[in-house]
Amino acid sequence: MIDVSTLRDWRFSIDMQGIAWAVFDREGESQNSLGQRPLEELAMIIERVDEGARDKSIRGLVFMSGKEKGFIVGADVREFEKLADERQVADSIAQVNGYLDRLERLPIPVVCCIHGFCLGGGLELALACHWRIATRDDATRIGFPEVKLGLFPGFNGTVRSIRQAGAFSAMPLMLTGSFIRATAARGMGLIDELVPSPLNLRWAARKAIERKRKSKPAGGWRALTRMWPARGLLASKFRSETAKKVREEHYPSPFRLIDLFETHAGNLDGMKVAETRAFAPLMVGETSKNLRRVFKLSEMMKAQTPKGLAFKPLRVHVIGAGVMGADIAGWCVASGMEVSLQDVSAEQIAKGIAAQKKLFNRKFRTKPQRDAALARLIADPKGANIGRADVVIEAIVEKLEVKQNLFKSIEARLKPGAVLATNTSSIMIEEIAAPLADPSRLIGIHFFNPVAQLPLVEVIRGAQTREEEVGKGCAFVAAIDKFPLIVKSSPGFLVNRVLAPYMMAAMQRVERGEAKEKIDEAARTFGMPMGPVELADTVGLDVCAHVGKILNLGPGGPTKLDEMVAAGKLGKKSGEGFYVWKDGKPEKAEPETPYDKFELERLGRELVDPLIREAQRVRDEKIVESGDLVDAGVIFGTGFAPFRGGPLHFAANEQRSNVEVLRRTAAE
Ligand code: NAI
């Protein structure tokens, strides 16, 4: 008999009623992911249960999680790099698919209990079970995030999700990588039963086994969605919708998934084999490798917060309720904190608070949640709450003296141990801190506009700053679900410093008469989310001119940019900059003849060159701790083509392939 007493990532037991309980609790990890060892142990469990089912000592099998937070977050991304070529990928997947097929064929009921995240490979395991029970809890989220790593589900999840939910629901879930709540998953047919809380799971599972529950595949119109001609129509609809969001040459995986569905979904067994065939090249392809790199970089950013830090920020005081301050306050509230908002203008505070309703409506589903959020955001014109705050952030006008005076006036009122921060975008932290009694206390916490959209926050370390304060700054940023990046205090910090020469060079091209539309299209062809001219208009031309001066860019005389600013043409916010803006969108002239693809590619590469060079300087000057973190900051702070893995990684790859080409040419 197979021995399951030595399992390390699972706890296995058989109770008095003959029900086998497989509790996934990965050793030494806070979350469950499906790595090699847990999968091998899963195979042993299946083997053991199969034996028990045959000799009638086991009547049913239940999967659960031993982690408080969630079921399974997916396959273990850290292990992907071990697979060197398509053959290895296909072999390793075939093994796992064999386990899941065997699980599905077990002659006794197999129930999966889900609370918290059930994603990717975790959902694929759940789909191989016969009955899925999930908690209705807000924390329960179901989804296939593979597409975000340049992949699609590879443990036959494409087949089983389409079988259970029909293509109309299952395909968009896989194509967008979005997470849904348990109730929505129940509506689709991915979940069979809902219970109010994790406490109800065991009992519900036991009952499902008593009643020999077995989920039925999607029937009726849902089943028709994988038949011809509906399949062909759906495939072209998915293709056009996906093409609106991403380009096939940048992100091939959703397009390969649609091909897979279109060609094979009529025969689900055949689709299983075709899934692996289509999956393997994606796994070893450049896009997925780079997107996995981005995932790891994001983990690396979170790891900058020192472990074991006792600092737990709960109350925030924001001074300045303008564009930035109000949104910073709103974001902190949405992350669960209590926030007081101060400004010299009461009207500005009221406006700033009112503006956060939109964010709260988006973040919170129920009215009581939204009301509670609004109650956590209080107007504080006199700064009465400064002494209670764990974090005080200043976001007032960008003037050294005004900032210095403010900090001097509040320093004595701070709670001991509270973080003191400025959101300045261009003044040196050392200068702002100079008049303080304890200058080592001040750090920069530099958010980007719009706060709700940009995931990066630079944590600025001044020459005078105490290391502990930097760590606390990172902890605060992580607590509000943003990515912290520690940056040395120097002009432009990281993001503005690399963006400015890129945008300035593009603007100079426009001055020289090149078409702005073509420039913007070329940058998008490279993979930037928005072209540099449109970006300048969006940021505000006054802001661009200011940053350009700080960084000493430009030809050193009045430029078209200065003239436009003087004429009040500030970009999107004033309705006109390089473009005329209507309803929040720039009006772009169509080219007389379509742009040449290769020409756009060449120009795109040229346009990002100043950004790449500046990123290299930032790395060499050690403004940020490592090259990897420079890449992370540029990707999360500017949206730099994630599938290229970051500016430094891209440049190194490019150089490597150039050398390769030269070597091959020389050999010929
Ligand atoms: P803003 O002009 O929209 O808001 C500043 C607010 O501060 C105003 O409401 C003003 O009444 C208030 N204020 C001025 N002096 C004050 C004082 N002594 N006490 C209390 N309130 C006072 O400015 P914005 O754009 O929000 O910028 C604020 C800070 O954030 C600046 O340091 C800026 O460099 C920085 N920043 C701005 C970004 C942007 O895109 N606007 C991006 C990142 C940083």
Determine the Cα angle at 80 with ends 143 and 64, to 5°.
Answer: 45
Prior bond of 450 cis (ω within 30°):
yes
Q: How many residues does the chain have?
A: 668
Pick from 317, 318, 319, 323 the residue to mutate for probing ligand 1's pocket: most ligand atoms within 8 Å of its CB.
Answer: 323
Q: What single-letter amino acid sits at 177?
A: G
Mean pLDDT of 590-607: 95
Phi, psi of 429 (to 5 degrees): -60, -40
Please give the distance, rounded to the nearest whole angstrom, from the Cα atom of residue 406 to the centre of ligand 1: 13
Q: Measure 368 CA to ligand 1 centroid, in angstroms.
A: 31
Centroid of ligand 1 to alpha carbon of 619 (angstroms): 30
Please name which of 424, 341, 354 lies closest in space to residue 383, comparing C-alpha atoms: 341
Which two three-digit tokens encode residue 638? 């500017």
CA of 630 to the centre of ligand 1 (A): 27
Specify the amino acid at residue 187: G
Mean pLDDT calculated for residue range 415-434: 96
446 an active-site residue? yes
**All structural domains of the chain:** 10-146+154-167+176-217 (3.90.226.10), 315-491 (3.40.50.720), 496-622 (1.10.1040.50)
Give the 3-state DSSP-derived string for 538-590, with helices as H, strands as E and coil as C: HHCHHHHHHHHHHCCCCCCCCCHHHHHHHCCCCEHHHCECCCEEECCEECCCC
Model confidence over 604-639: pLDDT tens digits?
Answer: 999 999 999 999 999 999 999 999 999 999 999 999
Mean pLDDT, range 465-478, rounded to an integer: 96
More confident residue, 305 or 41: 41
pLDDT, one tens digit per residue, over 431-459 is: 999 999 999 999 999 999 899 999 999 99
Active-site annotation holder among 288, 425, 489, 517 = 425
pLDDT band at 556 (very low <50, low <70, confident <90, very high): low
Of these residues, 458, 469, 517, 534, which one is catalytic? 458
Share of the chain above pLDDT 90, in %: 90
Q: How do residues 273-286 score in pLDDT, each as one tens digit?
A: 999 999 999 999 99
Q: Which atom of ligand 1 is nearest to the CA of 345?
A: 11
Chain mean pLDDT for the chain: 95
Q: What amino acid occupies position 401?
A: E
Q: Report whether 218 contacts 165 (CB < 8 A).
A: yes
In whole angstroms, what is the distance from residue 622 CA to residue 467 CA? 16
Whether ligand 1 lies within 6 angstroms of the CB of 553 is answered as no
Nearest to 563 by CA among 591, 535, 541: 541
Q: Which atom of ligand 1 is nearest to the CA of 425?
A: 34
* Predicted local confidence at residue 302, as pLDDT: 87
Interval between CA 358 and ligand 1 midpoint (Å): 21
Q: What is the pLDDT of residue 4?
A: 87
3-class DSSP assignment, residue 460:
strand
Euclidean distance between CA atoms 258 and 170, whole angstroms: 12
29 lines ligand 1 (CB under 6 A): no
pLDDT of residue 332: 98
**Over 70: is that where the pLDDT of 44 sits?**
yes
